[in-house]
A and B are shown apart, each in its own frame.
Chain A
Amino acid sequence: MKLIKIYVAFCLFLISFSSCEKALDQPVYSQLVPDNYLTTRDGILSVLRASYVREARLQSQQANKGTILSQEAVTDIMYSYAGADNRQMSQFLNFTWNSNLDWLFGMLWNPSYLAIRDANSVLDNIEKADLSEAERKQFIAEARFVRAISYYGLYIFFGPVPIRVSTLNGAEELARATEAEMQNFIETELLAVIADLPNPGQEEYGRANKGSARAFLCKFYLNTKQWQKCADMAKEVMDMTYYELYPDYSAMFRVENERNKEFIYVRPAYPAAVGNGPSNDWEAYVFPVGFKSEPKSGLVYMTNWRNYAAQYTLRDQFYHTFDADDKRKETVITTYINQQNATVNLLNNKDDTRPLKFWPDPAAIDGGGGNDVPVIRYADILMSRAEALNELNGPNAESISLINEIRDRAGLDPVALGDFGSKEALRDHIIDERGWEFYCEGLRRQDLIRTGKFIDYAKARGIANAKPFHALYPIPQRAMDSDSKLVQNDGY
């Protein structure tokens, strides 16, 4: 009966558990708790890096689709057909997008705000972190840099957006900034961080330096038509004497040459299966279905590349504007041999030449290559100064000389000051030259908007419904629904 007594005692014990509240605090095993994690240097650095990676949009093909294709399919340069992406792309191509277009949220809006959130997390916690003062300053500058360029991206896509500078208020609803507040924020933040950022070449590759901040400022001034500031900032970058044009245009985008002094700021890619890392699978969209080899360059399809259903191509009207001698179109595929060993001439099809600008990485893993995607090249700085000076002073020798630096590399004859009788004539040439120089780098939409050609070009392509309001994308519907203080852009 002793057994039974023990048993009854045990039952009573069970029925009268005490201190159960404590039992309900479960250990967190595989995640990190902010209180002790963000007090360390490695913790802060890891979150800071996350903000860079979010801004770079190399996850899940966002950079190719979101920041390149969708920014050029709305212009005279790129075209795309087939594939599941076409469900989104057809809306860009036809100017029928509305706030429900999913990519606006997934590729343009949300990655920026993820980067902003991560940067804000760094800034909110860095004072408590165990860091040297020098490093604290640099990390603060970097977090502010990532945040500022994220807002710059949002501003280019959507116009002024809510400016959130801290994570501490949770998801408090915020109204959109005014045009002046938005511009002021981007400008002052970027100006403020230059001092604390490292010199070019001294940063961890993939992170910001003084040149990156100045280059973004230059582009910001250009697109906001602050011509004098743009010209000055371009000069500041040039005066750093660090950057230079890479001698071979086509080779510049090859993975082996990507760490060059022309790429001022890049989205740094690395060979990895798509989804497993920040890789670039440009070629998988660009290869025609059934691609086997390209006789001109000797390119032969490797089994570690991929070939997707969606087809990225150049519009014929753009391709045919290239000068016959222009080296910049060397990597555009016009004929290829298919798996049945038949030669296919893509020029026989409408809008079907293939911009293999990011030359496939032989080390690609399952189609994911390591080609870095340039965001700002030194050539853009030169062209920006040329454009700003023209806008300030009309055609001038320095602008022509800057343009000729670019043309020289492309193997083209120089242009002369006398070729341009007016500011407008040179502006038109600059926009054409920018097209040949920067095609498939995601700059065309803002270039055309800035020069007032965006809607005219669309109409010229037969898109009757293109309207001035299309120069801004609508705030994505998911964002609108989530925040009652948001006001939609006009026209949507």
Chain B
Amino acid sequence: MYKTFSATGGRCICYVPSKLILAMKLTVVIFLAGMLQVHAAGFGQTISLSKTKTTLTDALIEIGKQSGYNVFYDAKLLRKAVPLDIHVNKASLKEALDKCFLHQPFTYTIESKTIVVTPKEIPPAPKIVFNVSGTVTDEKAQPLSGVSIQLKEDNNIGTTTDKDGRYSLKIPDGNGNLVFSFVGYETQSVAVQNKPVIDVQLTAAASSLNDIVVIGYGTQKRSDLTGSINSLKQENFNKGAGASLNQLMSGKAPGVRIVQNSNEPGGSISVNIRGAGSVSAGTDPLYVVDGLPLDNTPPVTGAGRNFVASNTVRSPLNSINPADIESIEILKDASATAIYGSRGANGVIIITTKKGKEGKANVNYSGFYGLQNVAKKLDVLSADEYMTVLNDIIDNGGGSAGEKVTGIQGSGTDWQEEIYRRNAGMQSHNISVSGGTGKSTYFVGLNYYDQDGVVITSGLKRYSARLNLTNAISDKFNIGLNLSTSYTQDNLLPEGSGFNENGGTIYSAINMDPTISILDPATERYQLSPFITIDNPIAIVYGKRANSAMYRTYGTVFANYNVTKDLVAKVNIGGDVLTQRKDVYVDRNTVSGNAAGGVASILNGTVSNYVVEGTLTYNKRFGAHRLTAVGGATTQRFITNRNSLESAGFSSDATGTNNVGAGMQNTYDVGSNKLSNRLVSFLGRANYSFLNRYLFTFTFRADGSSRFGINNRFGYFPSVAGVWKISEEDFMKDISAISNLRLRASWGQTGNQSIADYQAIATYGLGPVGNFNGQLVPTQEPARLPNPDLKWETTEQTNFGIDFGLLNERISGSIEYYTKRTFDMLLNKPVSTTSGFTSQLTNIGSIRNNGIEVSLVSRNIDRELKWTTGLNIATIRNKVIDLGGATEILAGAAGVLGDQPAIIRPGQPLNSFYGYEIIGVWQTDDDFTRTKDPVNPGDLKYRDINGDSVVNADDRVILGNSFPKFTWNITNTISFKRFTLDFQIEGVHGVKMFNNNLADVYFPINFRRNKFAEPYLNRWTKGNPSNKYPSFITPLSQGQKIVNSYTVSDASYIRLQTVTLSYALPAVRKLFRSGTVYITGQNLFTITDYEGMDPAVNPNGNANYRVDFNAYPLSRIVMLGCNIDF
């Protein structure tokens, strides 16, 4: 604003919305006018103007020029102006303006050298009859500048204090109330009562410390927390994260690693809190929504016949509407999670949904519309490059003469270009009504979410509804309901780790011969290459379709009874029913669909559970002592039910999966199964505080699970924590720079029970199908080596934390150190394979995670221009300590692998990549007697670790792991007046990912596949003796060392994740009370050396073992949204 002002030499013609003018604070005008005075001296005080049929705008601009006055108006408002004739000579400003406005539907006011155009119907500003002034100071009587003073009765009257803390304000009469507010201080309201001087001392608010944080089975003031908990409120959430709740918190909490498994709409996400503490049991945290521990077992896990599905199935968490969420609490240390006992070891994420608040009905609409485009394509050879490169390799002795590229059909095909959708749309619309009367509150929400994928045919739609109610039956007794229901429709893409004929859309687009056209000109069918067996990418896009419909209804009913003033009894009964049906049809456009005459699969599943729990809460203060205690019992039972139908050989593709009986009977394949497990638990917690300085928490949970052996049914999980609020001590009161300082320490044990059902007992399950007497006959065989001693995996965690607030909370933050040791690990321990089993689930071994987490919030500038920076930094070290005697376990499999690319070895991080080190390329003048391997100049040179002149499996080394050494996330929020700019940058460093697509480049499955451009265009030739890229003439001559220091790539990156510019709308009476409009850009740029589609994605689905293969591309998103309260 200031810039514009100077450049125009004292004129300020501003196009601002009328609503801004209406609500414009006097202070703004004065501020501008003050600046103006410096320059205004040279202007004349009279106006001469002669124009006919001119516009009001032009006339005002001229008047502004001559007078040196600012003119504020709304261009939209002035469209209603009527053309005018004006003839004045040396008239006063007022005369000239009066003439201009004579027939106009508006009027003007002059405020300190500013002409403000306003609609006529607006009542004139109230008569100013009373002057009030004074000084505002802080607790230490230092003047506070920039304090906002507002007349409570009229929002349009207000001011701020100057640098000496002084203010002066004209108000209509002496009866009103002044509201003094300043960031970091408690807001104060003072009745004027005809006092001309009002001095005010503000007290530091430490407001965030008074926030209520939801913890397991209760709530606490943030300042009383003893555990390590990150609490995110709505304003902290990532904008435009409509598909899943995990996206809301990505990057917002240190030590919480959120890895997108697939970038497709609704693609699943791995969440790891403080590393990975388990090899064979799950590493996902427990999600608790409004007191209901969720079971996120996907109802349908199968892919469907001839359909290669993503390695990671869609998470049922997608059924939760992010817009319903009020807050997310992430419980990290044992003090916080031990109350969840056997499910607490991987951390707990508590989700609280929005509730109605007492008062008038509030109708809210929020929504956005966005466009998505592929952020990065894989750089493969173009048709011309492909022809040149492949033919050149054949000429130099590679491939075979029959494989020469003889021509390009048309201009060839950029297959990736053909499968991507440009400007794929995404939108979300939420409407909620909430409110409350004296006895009850309500929240009703509806959501529609629709996202198209950037790859054709992929997409997600969700419809959801929520109803949250509370009602006080009496002073002592209240009941409530939290209920949500949703329908999620997924269009799934064939992707994942299928290869060759079974490859999905992206795999085939990367590998397909670029010199052929999409359709075969002769047959009009999708064209196939005579050299490659993979299917045509477009045939896969349109010929392999999978849709999933998921219905989820979950909720809790609760009742609280205040037995006495201090004792509350609560009963919570909840349930969750998740039903999914997936329809997969592979039609005759595809090779496999054509071979089988259409293939239909229907997969059904229902996952349900119920929870019943009762708790008693006691809360009492005895002088300087305060005690809060919770005790209770809970049981939860889980049931999973699945079935599937498959058939093939249809006379037409037209009926798809809607008539599977129309297939040939000998292709029918059916299946079903049912599983259940139950938890029975007792829990207790006591919080004790003395003088509000010394706080202690003791937690205990006893959990029984049907999953464990008859000898070890119950596990016991204790924790203890203490806090010393140093800043509450008397000796700290005088240190003004430190507004908050707390030291925390906690210790505790938690468990992990996320293993499959029935692992402890011997059962016989379905064996392979055989042919006996010319019939397909199913068989049964032992399902496992039973382990009646099977029990919980236990994680022992110690946490130290410092919470601090400096300079009146201008800088606040926490530093934490934790060490987590998991022992009695649930490990699929390799057992003698001569038993017919390869492993047995056993409690052995241990693993350790430790790290430092820092989070900081700094209010860098806190005036009219506000600038806040939030910073998270986390480090993690993961180390396998012991495998119960096993020296190492080779692990993992992905894509086109023979060897297992990862190793679990004591002393090393879990699932370290294990393979060969490439040290260059054999050059013509190298000493070839050093090796007994069949190598030629131009072949890759591997490090011969044991020096035996042969590079074989004994020469493998650890090449890195999937745990980033260091992650950071920085969020900046800059607001000025009604504008706010947010941007978030994420950095991940020191992490490796195995790139299976790159392995296909170095060890091609066949010669005529397309390849990554960079290595092939810069390959070793006699003229270009590269020491990096081989000649690719005989890429398989040294065997297939596909796990090597090239394919295990550095996946570090820095990414500008989101940029959001928002504008707070002023209220429009009778239309809406408040609102925000915003524009957001996501994934705008990434800095990385990673050669694949996206260094942040992990199609393998396990954040502790990252394998990139046929990743769905990242999209760059631009969206417009708004949030309006009516």
Within 8 A of B (CB), among A316-368: 338-340, 348-350, 363, 365-367
A28 contacts the other chain (CB 8 A): yes
Q: Please choose the segment from A51-59, A209-217, A406-414, A430-438 that sits at the chain B interface, where 4 or more of its residues have CB less than 8 A away.
A: A51-59
Say whether B771 contacts A98, CB under 8 Å. Answer: no
- Convert B746-789 into 0s and 1s, putting 1 for each residue whose CB lies closer than 8 angstroms to a CB of A: 00000000000110011111011111111111111111010000
Say whether A273 contacts B596, CB under 8 Å. Answer: yes
A303 CA to B589 CA, complexed, in Å: 12
Select A171's contact among B571, B635, B832, B1007, beta carbons within 8 Å.
Answer: B832
With A87-B896, A164-B834: A34-B772 Cβ-Cβ less than 8 Å: no
Within 8 A of A (CB), among B889-947: 889-890, 896-900, 932, 934
A14 contacts the other chain (CB 8 A): yes
With A305-B595, A482-B838: A84-B499 Cβ-Cβ less than 8 Å: yes
Say whether A49 contacts B779, CB under 8 Å. Answer: yes
Which residue of chain B is the closest to A367 with respect to CB atoms?
A: B595
Select B774's contact among A20, A38, A270, beta carbons within 8 Å.
Answer: A270
Select B1040's contact among A90, A118, A207, beta carbons within 8 Å.
Answer: A90
Q: CB-CB < 8 A to A101: which residues of B?
A: 898
Say whether B780 contacts A29, CB under 8 Å. Answer: no
A82 contacts the other chain (CB 8 A): yes
- Convert A73-92 into 0s and 1s, putting 1 for each residue whose CB lies closer than 8 angstroms to a CB of B: 00000000011101110110
Q: Please choose the segment from A5-13, A396-404, A415-423, A451-459 that sits at the chain B interface, where 4 or more of its residues have CB less than 8 A away.
A: A5-13
B189 contacts the other chain (CB 8 A): no
Say whether B530 contacts A478, CB under 8 Å. Answer: no
Select B896's contact among A14, A15, A84, A161, beta carbons within 8 Å.
Answer: A84
Say whether A482 contacts B595, CB under 8 Å. Answer: no
Q: CB-CB < 8 A to A91: which residues of B?
A: 1039
Say whether B673 contacts A29, CB under 8 Å. Answer: yes
B976 contacts the other chain (CB 8 A): no
With A164-B834, A304-B597, A478-B833: A50-B614 Cβ-Cβ less than 8 Å: no
A367 CA to B592 CA, complexed, in Å: 9
B101 contacts the other chain (CB 8 A): no
Q: CB-CB < 8 A to A23: which residues of B?
A: 635, 678, 680, 704, 706
Q: CB-CB < 8 A to B781: which residues of A?
A: 47, 50-51, 54, 114, 117-118, 121
Say whether A34 contacts B768, CB under 8 Å. Answer: no
Within 8 A of B (CB), among A1-34: 3-4, 7-8, 10-17, 20-21, 23-34
Select B762's contact among A33, A171, A366, beta carbons within 8 Å.
Answer: A33
A489 CA to B646 CA, complexed, in Å: 46
Interface range on chain A (Cβ under 8 Å from partner): 35 or more
Within 8 A of A (CB), among B599-656: 599, 612-616, 631-633, 635, 646, 648-649
Q: CB-CB < 8 A to A172: which residues of B?
A: 832, 835
CB of B764, distance to nearest CB on chain A (Å): 4
Which residue of chain A is the closest to B763 with respect to CB atoms?
A: A31
A88 CA to B776 CA, complexed, in Å: 31
With A17-B635, A303-B595: A53-B713 Cβ-Cβ less than 8 Å: no
Q: CB-CB < 8 A to B757: which residues of A?
A: 26
Say whether A49 contacts B772, CB under 8 Å. Answer: yes
Q: Please choose the segment from A102-110, A228-236, A238-246, A379-387 that sits at the chain B interface, where 4 or more of its residues have CB less than 8 A away.
A: A102-110
CB of A179, distance to nearest CB on chain B (Å): 18
Select B1005's contact among A4, A83, A269, A366, beta carbons within 8 Å.
Answer: A83
Say whether A340 contacts B769, CB under 8 Å. Answer: no
Q: Please choose the segment from A128-136, A193-201, A306-314 that sits at the chain B interface, where 4 or more of its residues have CB less than 8 A away.
A: A306-314
A298 contacts the other chain (CB 8 A): no
Q: CB-CB < 8 A to B763: which residues of A?
A: 28, 31-34
Say whether A24 contacts B706, CB under 8 Å. Answer: yes
With A53-B767, A102-B899: A483-B833 Cβ-Cβ less than 8 Å: yes
B396 contacts the other chain (CB 8 A): no
Say whether B890 contacts A366, CB under 8 Å. Answer: no
CB of B1085, distance to nearest CB on chain A (Å): 36
Say whether A15 contacts B898, CB under 8 Å. Answer: no
Say whether A30 contacts B674, CB under 8 Å. Answer: yes
Select A278's contact among B529, B770, B1039, beta carbons within 8 Å.
Answer: B770
- Convert B45-68 into 0s and 1s, putting 1 for each residue whose CB lies closer than 8 angstroms to a CB of A: 000000000000000000000000
Say whether A171 contacts B771, CB under 8 Å. Answer: no
A207 CA to B777 CA, complexed, in Å: 13
A474 CA to B173 CA, complexed, in Å: 99
Say whether B713 contacts A21, CB under 8 Å. Answer: yes
B676 contacts the other chain (CB 8 A): yes
B439 contacts the other chain (CB 8 A): no
A363 CA to B599 CA, complexed, in Å: 16
B365 contacts the other chain (CB 8 A): no
CB of A75, distance to nearest CB on chain B (Å): 20
With A31-B763, A306-B501, A479-B834: A206-B773 Cβ-Cβ less than 8 Å: yes
CB of B745, distance to nearest CB on chain A (Å): 31
B1054 contacts the other chain (CB 8 A): no
A37 CA to B3 CA, complexed, in Å: 87
CB of A305, distance to nearest CB on chain B (Å): 7
A205 contacts the other chain (CB 8 A): yes
Q: Please choose the segment from B241-249, B342-350, B664-672, B812-820 that sits at the chain A interface, where 4 or more of its residues have CB less than 8 A away.
A: B664-672
CB of A346, distance to nearest CB on chain B (Å): 10
B500 contacts the other chain (CB 8 A): yes
B534 contacts the other chain (CB 8 A): yes
Q: CB-CB < 8 A to B704: which residues of A?
A: 20-21, 23-24
Say whether A86 contacts B832, CB under 8 Å. Answer: no
Say whether B772 contacts A113, CB under 8 Å. Answer: no
Say whether A4 contacts B477, CB under 8 Å. Answer: yes
B319 contacts the other chain (CB 8 A): no
A491 contacts the other chain (CB 8 A): no
Scoring A14, A161, A307 by chain B CB atoms within 10 A of each residue's CB, the highest score goes to A14
Say whether A26 contacts B678, CB under 8 Å. Answer: yes
Say whether A290 contacts B530, CB under 8 Å. Answer: yes
CB of A444, distance to nearest CB on chain B (Å): 23
With A15-B616, A23-B635, A31-B764: A84-B1005 Cβ-Cβ less than 8 Å: yes
Within 8 A of B (CB), among A258-282: 268-273, 276-278
Say whether B770 contacts A479, CB under 8 Å. Answer: no
Which residue of chain A is the closest to B631 with respect to CB atoms?
A: A15
CB of A171, distance to nearest CB on chain B (Å): 3
B840 contacts the other chain (CB 8 A): yes
A257 contacts the other chain (CB 8 A): no
Say whether B834 contacts A304, CB under 8 Å. Answer: no
CB of A35, distance to nearest CB on chain B (Å): 9
- Convert A160-183 into 0s and 1s, putting 1 for each residue whose CB lies closer than 8 angstroms to a CB of B: 011010010011111000000000
Say whether B666 contacts A269, CB under 8 Å. Answer: no
With A23-B680, A366-B592: A478-B838 Cβ-Cβ less than 8 Å: yes
A488 contacts the other chain (CB 8 A): no
CB of B738, distance to nearest CB on chain A (Å): 44
A116 contacts the other chain (CB 8 A): yes
Say whether A481 contacts B779, CB under 8 Å. Answer: no
CB of B866, distance to nearest CB on chain A (Å): 49
12 more CB-based (< 8 A) A-B contacts, given A53-B768, A172-B835, A268-B772? A7-B561, A8-B561, A26-B678, A59-B768, A82-B1006, A83-B1005, A105-B833, A110-B838, A205-B772, A273-B669, A308-B500, A482-B831
Query: Can you list 22 A-B contacts with CB-CB less than 8 angstroms, sorted by A residue number?
Result: A11-B569, A11-B614, A12-B614, A16-B633, A24-B713, A26-B676, A26-B706, A28-B763, A32-B780, A43-B780, A47-B782, A49-B779, A52-B772, A105-B833, A171-B831, A290-B528, A305-B595, A366-B592, A478-B890, A479-B832, A481-B887, A481-B888
Closest 3 CB pairs of A and B: A117-B836, A14-B614, A171-B831
